[in-house]
Amino acid sequence: MDVTKKDLELINQLSLTELKAEEVYAFRVVCCDNLVDRDYEKFSDDALDKMAELYAGKPIISDHLPMAKNQAARIFRAQVEAEGDVRRVIGYAYIPRLDSTKDFIESIDTGLKKEVSVGCCCNRRICSVCGDESGGCGHRPGKVYDGKKCYRILDGITDVYELSFVAVPAQPGAGVVKSFGGDNADEVRAQGDCGELEAQLINVEIENLEREIDNYGN
């Protein structure tokens, strides 16, 4: 992915040292979308917009490759991109080209599909059938009511956490892996600043932008 002048400005706001375009490797991360997942949950449009706002500046760390913290990839901007009815939060990330980041860059560059797990914090889950937020309405996600399948709408994003590379699941298409009420939730609850929170882990994939240069920067 080519780094535009504007991108480089954003990158240098985050970088400790002034980087030139040729010293930067940039790529795209699909963070999440607005589709109903296999747990019958989906993000609201507001949630996606908020996440795009919050992802800017967040690091992407790797548990495979030993890298110093300041060498981790970092999202320098994020935006919601629509393709038909599907809206996706796309993060644009960079990593400095160094000897120590060569392997990391190569693994993305070769087009290997990598998974990253992402954590976010939301305080509203809304029933698609009746709009209830208490969880006590009795409508069951996945069940059909008046011809429409019930799901929960995730809204009220209060925070997103760093993204991290994880091992690619043994089963392809294993889908979204989420855990509510995990360690992160407890951690944020302890701070007491955003009410009833749920930490959510979502498997997302990295796209190799080399193939999509045409769509970028136009």
- Enumerate binding residues for Zn ion (CB under 5 A): 127, 129-130, 132, 137, 139
Label the pairing between strands 152-160 and 41-43: parallel
Residue among 19 and 126 whose Cβ is closer to Zn ion? 126
In angstroms, how far is CA 69 from the centroid of its own chain?
19
> Could you give the C-alpha distances from 87 to 44, 109, 112, 113, in angstroms and in order?
10, 25, 24, 21
Label the pairing between strands 115-127 and 152-160: antiparallel
**Distance of closest approach, residue 131 Cβ to Zn ion, in angstroms:** 7
Residue among 129 and 206 whose Cβ is closer to Zn ion? 129
Residue among 142 and 175 whose Cβ is closer to Zn ion? 142
Residue among 144 and 213 whose Cβ is closer to Zn ion? 144
CA distance 145 to 127: 12
DSSP 63: S
Residue among 162 and 196 whose Cβ is closer to Zn ion? 196
**Distance of closest approach, residue 130 Cβ to Zn ion, in angstroms:** 3
Residue among 84 and 131 whose Cβ is closer to Zn ion? 131
Phi, psi dihedral angles at 78 (to 5 degrees)? -145, 150
CA neighbor of 31 nearest in space, from 73, 65, 80: 80
In angstroms, how far is CA 165 from the centroid of its own chain?
11
**Distance of closest approach, residue 152 Cβ to Zn ion, in angstroms:** 9
Q: Which residues of 51-85 are buried (b: 16+ CB within 10 A; e: fewer)?
A: bbebbbebbbbbeeeebeeebbbbbbbbebbeeee
